[in-house]
A and B are shown apart, each in its own frame.
Chain A
Amino acid sequence: MRNFTKIVGILLFFITVFLLIISSPVLIGEEDGRIFLHPKRVGLGLQFFFQEVLEGNTFEYIAGKTSYDMRETLPHFFFTSLKFILGAAFISLVLGLWLGVLFSFRQGRLLKGVLDFLHVTPDFILALFLQILSITIYQVFQFRIARLAYTGTNLQSILLPLVTMVVTATVFIIRCVEDYACKVKGEEFILYALSRGVGYLSLITTHLLVPILHYLRSDYHRLLALIIGNLFIVERIFKIPGITTFLFEYSFQRRYDSLTDKILSVTQFNVVFFGFLALIILYWIVYLLTDFLTRQLIRWRQG
C-alpha cells in the first residue's frame, strides 16, 4: 500500500512538472514591460485538449494553414529520429568501448587534451563546424562529401548529423570506459588470470571487457540523455524532420495577422503531449535494446 502511494506520488509529481513545463509558454507572458501569469489561458488550453481527446479529434494539428492527422505523419517523424538515435547509440558504444580500452593502456598527453576539449565542446559547435568544413572542401576541391541539410525525402542529410551525435557520445563512453578499465585492471582476478598464463587478448576480451560492460550498463541512462539532447540540436541545425522538429515547429507557432498587424501565437497542446510521449517511447526503445544487446554480449563472453 505504501509503495502504491509512493508510485502515485511520483507519477503525480512528474505529471505536474510536465504540465508546468509544457504550459509555461502560455502561462508566462509579458505586456507593457511587465510579466504576467495567465493560468486561465492554460486552463482553457488544457480543457480544449481534453475535450478534443473525448471527441476523438486529438490527433489533428495545424501546420501553417493546413490541417494534418498525427496518425499519418507522426510515424515518419518517429522513425527518422529512431534511425539517428539507434545509429548514434550503437556506433558510439562499439567505438567508445574499443577506444576506451585502447586509451586505458596507452595515452599521450596531447590525445588526452584533445579528448577533454572534445568532451566540453558543445554539439552545436561541432555540427556548425562540420557544415563549414564541408563547404570549404567543396569550394577548394569541387568534391561534395556530405549534404548540409535535409531538403527532401530523397535528399537527406545523414552523414554530418550522425557524425556529430557519434563524436559527442563516443567521447562520453571513452571517458567512462577508461575510468572503469583503470579500476578493473587493479583487481586481483586480473593478476590471477595473468599468473595462470591467460593470453593478453583473451584477458582483455573476457576478463576486462565483461566487468566494464557491467559497469557501463549503469551509464546507459546518462548516455541516452546525452544523445536525446544532441538530437534536439542536430535536428534543428540539419533541418531533419524528426520528433523534436515536430515538437518545436508545430507546438508553438507564430503567425503574422495582416488584419490586426500583430504576431499571433498559436499553441497546440496535443502536439506537445504526443511529441513528448513519442520522445519517451523512443528513449525506452533504444535503452531496452541497447541494454538487451549488452547483456547478450556479456553472456556470450562469459560462455
Chain B
Amino acid sequence: MKRFNLQLTLGLFLLAAIAVLSLMGSHMAPHESDFSDNLVYIETEKGRELFISPVPPMRQYPLGIDQYGRDILSVMLHGAKFSFGTTVVVALLRIIFAIGAVFFTKLSKRSKFKIGRKSSSLHRSITGLNAVPQFIIIYFILYGINFNSSLSVPLLTLLQWLLLVVFGVPGLIPSISEYVSQLQRSEFVTAARSNGAGPLRIMLVHILPHMKEKILLLFSQETVSVLTLVGQLGIFNIFIGGTLFTPAPPIYHSITHEWAGLVGQYRFKIQPGNWWILLFPLIGFIIMLLAFYLTSRGLELTVRKKYHNTSYL
C-alpha cells in the first residue's frame, strides 16, 4: 500500500498558497505599495478614534500599521512576489548552470576533473574559500550599488540574482558531478556506448532523464539555502531590489518590501509594546522556509523509498 507523504503534501500545499499570494498579492492588497499614513481613523467600540502609527493589529488592519504608517498586510502582499520569485528563480538558475558546467566538463576531451584525480592546489584553495560566509562577499560587492541606487529595481534585482547564482553554483558542482560519474558507470550507459551513441547523446538522452529526481531534490534544497542567504543579507540591510537609506535618523527601507528585507528593516523595532511589527514578516518568512523545507524533506523520503537498497541487517 502506498503510504501518504505528509511532509510533501503539506509542503506543496504551503508552496501553492505562497505562489498564489505572490501572483495575486499586489491585486489583493488593500493599499498601494507606497501607501503610508501616520494618522488613521479606526472604528472601535468607542466609536471613530484617531490612532498614531504604529498601530497594533485590529479588525481593519489585521497585521497592524508599522511606525512609518504602512499597512503591514499590504506591504507583505506586495513583497511576496519578490521573495518567492527570487528564491525559485535563483535556485533554478543555480541548478541549470551547475548541470551545464558538469556536462561541459564531462564532455570536454581535455577535462581536468576526471574521477579519482587528485585535486589541484588551486582547486583546494578555492574550496578553502568556502570558509568565508557567502553573504559577506556578496555584501561587499553590492555595498556600492545597493543603497539609494539609481539603477532600476528590475536591473538591480537581476544583478543580485546573478550574484546569488554565481556564488551558489560551485557548491553544487561536486554533488552533481559525482552523481553523473556514477550514472556514467551504469550498464545502460555502457550498452548505449557500445551501440555507437556519442557522448552528447549519452548525456542528454540517457543520463539527464535519470537525473530528474536528483535535480528536483537539489532544487528544493537550494531554495532553502537561497532563502537563508537572502535573509542574512537582509540583516545587513542589503535588500532584494534595493535599499532606501535615510541618513537622519539612519533608517534602511526595503524598496520592494520583500519579506527578508522587511525582517531586516523591522528588526530594530523589537521593544516591549511594538514587537509585533517584526513578528508578522518573520512568521511569513518562516512559513516560506517551512514550505520549501517540507517539500525538500518529502521529496527526499520519496526518492529514498523508491531507490533504497533493502537492508539485510
Bitwise interface map of A from 131 to 150 toward B, beta carbon under 8 Å scored 1, else 0: 11001101100000000100
When the two chains form their complex, are residues B122 and A30 in contact, meaning their CB atoms are under 8 A apart? no
Verify if A254 is at the interface (C-beta below 8 Å from B): yes
In the complex the two chains form, is B247's CB within 8 Å of A32's CB? no
Q: Which A residues are in CB contact (< 8 Å) with B293?
A: 117, 120
Report yes or no: A17 in contact with B282, Cβ–Cβ below 8 A. no
A170–B133 alpha-carbon span in the complex (Å): 19
Q: Mark B113-157, 1 if CB is under 8 A from A, else 0.
A: 000000001100100011111011100110111011111100100
Q: How far is the CA of A225 from the CA of B286 in the complex (A)?
A: 24
CB nearest to B136 among chain A residues = A232
- Residues 242-281 of chain B, each 1 if its beta carbon lies under 8 Å from chain A, else 0: 0001011010000000000001000100111001001100
A88 to chain B, nearest CB (A): 15
Give the distance in Å from the alpha carbon of A125 to the alpha carbon of B285 in the complex. 9
Assess whether B297 is interfacial by the CB under 8 Å rule: yes
Given contacts A120-B293, A122-B232, contact A24 B148 (CB under 8 A): no
In the complex, the answer to whether A30 meets B151 with C-beta atoms within 8 Å is yes
Q: Give the top 8 A-B pairs by smallest Cβ distance, nearest first.
A: A256-B247, A25-B143, A229-B133, A225-B131, A122-B228, A30-B145, A29-B144, A28-B144
Query: Does B272 contact A28, Cβ atoms closer than 8 Å?
Result: no
Contact with B along A207-239 (1 / 0, CB 8 A): 000000000000001001100110011001100
Assess whether B122 is in contact with A10, with CB atoms less than 8 Å apart: yes
Q: Is the CB of B278 within 8 A of A128?
A: yes
Whether B133 and A228, one on each chain, are in contact in the complex, defined by CB atoms closer than 8 angstroms, is yes
Query: B150, A10: Cβ atoms under 8 Å?
Result: no
Size category, B interface: 35 or more
Task: Name B263's contact: one of A128, A135, A232, A233 (CB within 8 Å).
Answer: A128
Interface residues of A in 273-296 (CB under 8 A from B): 283
A14 and B141 contacting across the interface, CB-CB below 8 Å = no
- State whether B141 touches A24 (Cβ < 8 A): yes
Partner of A128 from the list B147, B232, B282 (CB cut-off 8 Å) is B282
Asked if A225 and B130 make an inter-chain contact with CB atoms under 8 angstroms apart, the answer reads yes
Prevailing SS type, chain A contact patch: helix
Q: How far is the CA of A263 from the CA of B148 in the complex (A)?
A: 10
Q: Give the complex CA separation of A48 and B278 in angstroms.
A: 42
Q: Is A188 an interface residue (CB 8 A)?
A: no
Any chain A CB within 8 A of the CB of B236? yes
- Contact residue among A6, A26, A256 (Cβ-Cβ distance under 8 Å from B248): A256
CB-based A-B contact count at 8 angstroms: 122
CA distance A225 to B133 in the complex (A): 7
* B159 partner residues in chain A, CB cutoff 8 A: 35
B231 at the interface (CB under 8 A from A): yes
Q: Is the CB of B272 within 8 A of A138?
A: yes
Flag whether B235 is at the interface (Cβ < 8 A).
Answer: yes
The yes or no answer to A189 lying at the interface (CB within 8 A) is no
Residue pair B125, A10 in contact (C-beta under 8 Å): yes
Binding site for B on A (CB under 8 A): 6, 9-10, 13-14, 17, 21-22, 24-35, 113, 116-117, 120-122, 124-125, 128-129, 131-132, 135-136, 138-139, 148, 221, 224-225, 228-229, 232-233, 236-237, 248, 252, 254-256, 263, 265, 283
- Interface assignment of B75: CB less than 8 Å from any CB of chain A: no
Q: 12 A–B contact pairs at CB < 8 A?
A: A6-B121, A10-B122, A26-B144, A29-B145, A32-B150, A35-B145, A35-B159, A117-B293, A120-B289, A121-B289, A228-B133, A237-B235
A136 to B278 Cα, complex, angstroms: 13
Contacting residues, chain B, for A10 (C-beta < 8 A): 121-122, 125
Shortest Cβ gap from B57 to chain A (Å): 15
Q: Nearest chain-B residue to A29 (Cβ)?
A: B144
Determine the chain A residues whose CB is within 8 A of the CB of B143 once the complex forms: 24-25, 252
Expressed in whole angstroms, the minimum distance between the Cβ of B279 and any Cβ of chain A is 6
- Identify which of A125, A148, A224, A263 contacts B231 (C-beta below 8 A): A125
**Max chain A Cβ within 10 angstroms of own Cβ: one of B135, B231, B271:** B231
Complex: A207 Cα to B289 Cα, angstroms: 40
> Is the beta-carbon distance between A116 and B129 smaller than 8 angstroms?
no
Q: Which residues of A contact B270 (CB under 8 A)?
A: 128, 131-132, 135, 148
